[in-house]
Structure 1
Amino acid sequence: MRSGERTFFGHPWGLATLFGTELWERFSWYGLRAILATFLIASPANKGLGMTQETAQAVVGVYGALIYLVALPGGWVADRILGARRSVLWGGFVIMCGHISMAIPVSTPAFVWLGLLLIIMGTGLLKPNISVMVGRLYPEEDDARRDAGFSLFYLGINLGAFIAPIVVGWLADGDRWHLGFSAAAVGMALGLAQYLWGGRNLSGVGERPGVLLSPRERRRFGGVAAGAALAVAAALGLWAASGTLTVSRLTLAITVVILVVPVAYFAYIMLGSHDLTEDERIRMKAYIWLFVAAAIFWMIYDLAPSKLLFFAENNTRLSLFGVPIHAATTQAFNPLFIMIFVPVFAALWMKLGNRVSTPQKFGFALVMVGLSFVIMAVAARLAEGGKVSVWWLVLVYLVQVFGELSLSPVGLSVTTKLAPEAFKGQMLGVWFIAVSVGDAVGGQTGRLTRVLSEPMYYLVLAVMAVAAGVALFLFTRRLREMMAEHHEAAIR
């Protein structure tokens, strides 16, 4: 960095531009997420869509799953067609249009579905590529400052996530759903304005695609994309014409497709040659176990904007320190605890070093998220006799954050470490597929309430997570051998 150059807390000023853009994009995302499920179950008389809790949970799960799944094609579009900078710009614009569509105060749900589709598409363009731009602000050899820059960027994410549920929840109170959706649109508009105004500080980062498609490749891509879109539209049209298409069945079908993606991808890697060495194949086998563990974790963790939000709305006394709050405000507990405990866990992992392995961190995360649902089972049982204190949810989110900070920060790191050389770039997106699988399956777990009581529902999921965590602890030595992690520990 040149002497006298303007900085943002000692970092390139371009980080301030991306920090603000991401803060407002996350404001729009978490603001919508904080009220979406309750909007879906509100009756038409209360200006909602009148869904059952089970269907709404499935919709929110699939919506979150697709958000993470489209990060893969979004990254490809930036690398081959638009470049990261234009991808972020167009992604933000499409997201804003999605929120505007949802904010249109009409009774038809068509604008809601269009809005969600636009937000999914826009997030696929924006989310992965703005992170890439942050990394490119620094010279390749400047790892320490890059890591610190990402920490600041992560703070922006959680600031937006913390503020959004409070503001949007307050605006949407009294069935003013579309006012809440409008706030999300305004948030994204502010993010876009910040991005355009500060673009000159990005020093050309992300202006060009990495490997631009040739004209022939563009035509081929356009044909394949158009053909795929027509095929999906035709399939949905035929399904609708049969009279058997429902929102619930559609979410189940999308979940099945999402589950097929990682199975097909891992089969492609493991069964093809790709010049993989034997060590690389063994490491991939270890990674598959960690991938499954992560999916189970997110399956429970990302029930916050659906199942736990319903519990807050219907079963808790919404008051903190004597101050009334909205159900949506409970969605702010998680990012608040993350901001508090990130430095604590960062220092803890530095102190423990290689004495705690990746499988043990994942195992601890699963036990924590399982314990959080044991707490939920107790709270749900108490709620059968009347509303309980919202502090039960505060405790649940606190325990869950302990789990997240043990799994999420190491997820991308272990992905890059275990990825075969031929798949280094692609494998970064695979980590997000684990989140996608977890969200989609978590959305479908609402069907269990047909046969299980609320306390038993939470307990069944808790047992599943704890059992998976214990299994990782039991097989830690074997997994470390497969990952070659023990060799590093011995050398150091």
Structure 2
Amino acid sequence: MKNSHEQDNTAFFGHPKPLKDLFFTEFWERFSYYGIRPLLILYMSALSINGGLGLDRPTAAAIVGLFAGSIYLITIFGGWIADNWLGQARSVWYGSILMALGHLSIALNAWFDQFFFYFGLVLIVLGSGLFKTCITVIVGTLYNAQDTRRDAGFSIFYMGINLGAFIAPLFTGLFIENNGWHIGFGIGGIGMLIALIFFRFTCTPQLVKFNENQATESAWNKPVTPKKSAPKIVFAFILFCTIIISLVTLNIITINPIILSKYLTASICIVLLIYFIYLIFLANSTPNEKKQIMMCFLLIIIAVFFWSSLEQQPTSFNLFAQDFTQRYVGGYEIPTVWFQSLNPIFMVLFAPVLAWLWTKLGKSNLNPSYITKFIISIALAGCSFIIMYFASQRIILNGGALVSPLWLVFSLLFLTLGELCLSPIGLSAMTKLAPTQLRGQIMGLWMTSIALGSLIAGLIGGHVSAESLQELPMLFIQCAIILFAGAIILFIFKKPILKFLTTSNN
């Protein structure tokens, strides 16, 4: 008969019991985020007469890219706060509060100034910086580095993300059709409130109980390397943000989203390189830890290729669905944002299959390496854009006639399969390879690859419009060529990379 510890360690489909509570916390947080994400570019680019902000598409797409990119970029600082001051659990809690306030602020935009819309986006960004990194790290603490269930556990956790992402656009799409934009935004706020309550009163007690039964102490609920200066640095950052927001609100400084996106993309690349150099040469890491950090850096750079394609869903793919896709079925017009549910529903359908496959192959020592899975993911993303290329060519050849929704369906299917081979595996790799004292920061750096992809996608997405129809095929084929080139280069250097990874693990 199993003892209490053994039962808790296999209570959720053969995985630790707290994984279930983390699953549902992430589900509701992602429901809130994906409830508003597909609305942003449609709302901002809609004319004021239709209740929108009346921005041009390149500007609206750049803001979406800045919003999504900043969410992932700020996770570096969020990871540092967790490692040096709050710990993982308190960071998730405070992040949840900030995001809930952000959704409330966006909802207030219906009755007050546009300031509340943009201020709400800022609060969601700041809250996500604490939440996203830390809840993933907590999942990693449920397994030791040699546990063959690890990749499967992250795949299950990732399925929770996509269940929330699938359901949210279905709700918001229905509500904005009959009740306006702000009801759709409000639905996302309800999801975040549920996530906040669930983590505090259900998830945290289960984590405490699980930790008490472990043979080794887990650091999910306390800082790994406490620093007395951390609170001062955080408050200084808050003061800086307050000053910038005040200057923009008073029109003392003006921000051009497109120019800011370009400069931020270049700056992130430079800072990312400098930061990894610091971690390798100046952070008092052991030789083995330096190799682990270098491996993380390589995987992060590879991931940028993929994220720059995946993060075009709320911009390029969203606008393609609105402008060029036949959305009438039996006299009913499918809401544009419903197409944003295709990616997560495919994730829900195929994530268990791949989770089972990785576990089965792992038991037989046949599980493909991280590098192999990354190559597959980038190649599949390339196939997705090949499909979009032919779809846009068909529109031009037919004189601008709308195309079947199946083009988007199959394109997003390939993109989703690629995501399954990269995202949960990347999360697992970061928590496994990262040195313990740097795990929050390394996870934040992994999120930086998504930030870069989001910024690039935002700069691309605004060019999808009826006025630039002739340019669409070239836009999509260029994305495909870059992705295939990345996959080929990675395949060529696969053997030396794997040799390096083997050495770093010994």
| TM-score, scaled to structure 1 | 0.85
Rounded to whole Å, the distance in 2 between the matches of 1:75 and 1:130 is 10
Cα offset, 1:47, TM superposition: 1.0
Q: Would the alpha carbon gap of residues 255 and 152 (structure 1) be closer, same or farther in structure 2, given more than 3 Å must change?
A: same
Cα offset, 1:2, TM superposition: 2.2
Q: Would the alpha carbon gap of residues 322 and 203 (structure 1) be closer, same or farther in structure 2, given more than 3 Å must change?
A: farther
Residues 41-190 of structure 1 mapped to structure 2, 5 A cutoff:
41-104=45-108, 105-106=110-111, 108-136=113-141, 138=142, 143=147, 150-174=154-178, 176-190=180-194
Cα offset, 1:294, TM superposition: 0.9
Cα offset, 1:174, TM superposition: 4.8
Hey, what does 1:444 align to over in structure 2?
459
1:36 is the counterpart of 2:54: no
Rounded to whole Å, the distance in 1 between the matches of 2:291 and 2:198 is 46
Counting matched residue pairs gives 483
- Shifted more, 176-185 versus 316-325: the winner is 316-325
Rounded to whole Å, the distance in 1 between the matches of 2:270 and 2:366 is 35
Q: Would the alpha carbon gap of residues 150 and 423 (structure 1) be closer, same or farther in structure 2, given more than 3 Å must change?
A: closer
1:398 to 413, 419, 423: 413
1:471 is the counterpart of 2:473: no
Asked whether the equivalents of residues 296 and 465 of structure 1 are also in contact (C-alpha less than 8 Å), the reply is yes
Alpha-carbon displacement from aligned partner over 1:254-276 (angstroms, at most 9, x marks no partner) = 33433333122123245548455
Hey, what does 1:2 align to over in structure 2?
4
Cα offset, 1:316, TM superposition: 0.6
Cα offset, 1:397, TM superposition: 0.8
Alpha-carbon displacement from aligned partner over 1:184-237 (angstroms, at most 9, x marks no partner) = 1111222233334425444366885235856x5356435643564467568868
Cα offset, 1:250, TM superposition: 3.3
Rounded to whole Å, the distance in 1 between the matches of 2:120 and 2:167 is 22
1:433 is the counterpart of 2:444: no
Cα offset, 1:27, TM superposition: 0.7
Rounded to whole Å, the distance in 1 between the matches of 2:181 and 2:25 is 24
Rounded to whole Å, the distance in 2 between the matches of 1:474 and 1:144 is 28
Hey, what does 1:241 align to over in structure 2?
252
Gaps of 5+ in 2: 212-218
Alpha-carbon displacement from aligned partner over 1:71-118 (angstroms, at most 9, x marks no partner) = 222233334433433332322222122112111213632111011111
Which amino acid is the alignment partner of residue 375 of structure 1?
I
Hey, what does 2:479 align to over in structure 1?
461
1:377 to 389, 392, 400: 389
Gaps of 5+ in 1: none
Hey, what does 1:334 align to over in structure 2?
343
Cα offset, 1:351, TM superposition: 3.8
1:300 to 299, 303, 309: 309
Which amino acid is the alignment partner of residue 278 of structure 2?
Y
SS in structure 2 opposite 1:389?
A: coil
Residues 265-344 of structure 1 mapped to structure 2, 5 A cutoff:
265-270=275-280, 272=282, 274=284, 277=287, 288-319=297-328, 324-344=333-353
Asked whether the equivalents of residues 299 and 442 of structure 1 are also in contact (C-alpha less than 8 Å), the reply is yes
Rounded to whole Å, the distance in 2 between the matches of 1:9 and 1:270 is 39
Alpha-carbon displacement from aligned partner over 1:410-447 (angstroms, at most 9, x marks no partner) = 32344456557875553233222111111112212347
Rounded to whole Å, the distance in 1 between the matches of 2:7 and 2:292 is 44
Alpha-carbon displacement from aligned partner over 1:110-129 (angstroms, at most 9, x marks no partner) = 11101111111112222222
Q: Would the alpha carbon gap of residues 296 and 32 (structure 1) be closer, same or farther in structure 2, given more than 3 Å must change?
A: same
Rounded to whole Å, the distance in 2 between the matches of 1:410 and 1:101 is 35
Which amino acid is the alignment partner of residue 118 of structure 1?
L
Alpha-carbon displacement from aligned partner over 1:312-369 (angstroms, at most 9, x marks no partner) = 0111112468864211111111111112212333454554955844333222221211
Rounded to whole Å, the distance in 2 between the matches of 1:269 and 1:313 is 45
Give the % identical residues: 34
Root-mean-square deviation over aligned CA pairs: 3.6
Asked whether the equivalents of residues 224 and 437 of structure 2 are also in contact (C-alpha less than 8 Å), the reply is no
Rounded to whole Å, the distance in 1 between the matches of 2:137 and 2:489 is 35
Asked whether the equivalents of residues 418 and 483 of structure 1 are also in contact (C-alpha less than 8 Å), the reply is no
Larger relative contact order (CA 8 Å, sep ≥ 6): 2
| TM-score, scaled to structure 2 | 0.83
Which amino acid is the alignment partner of residue 388 of structure 1?
V
SS in structure 2 opposite 1:388?
A: coil
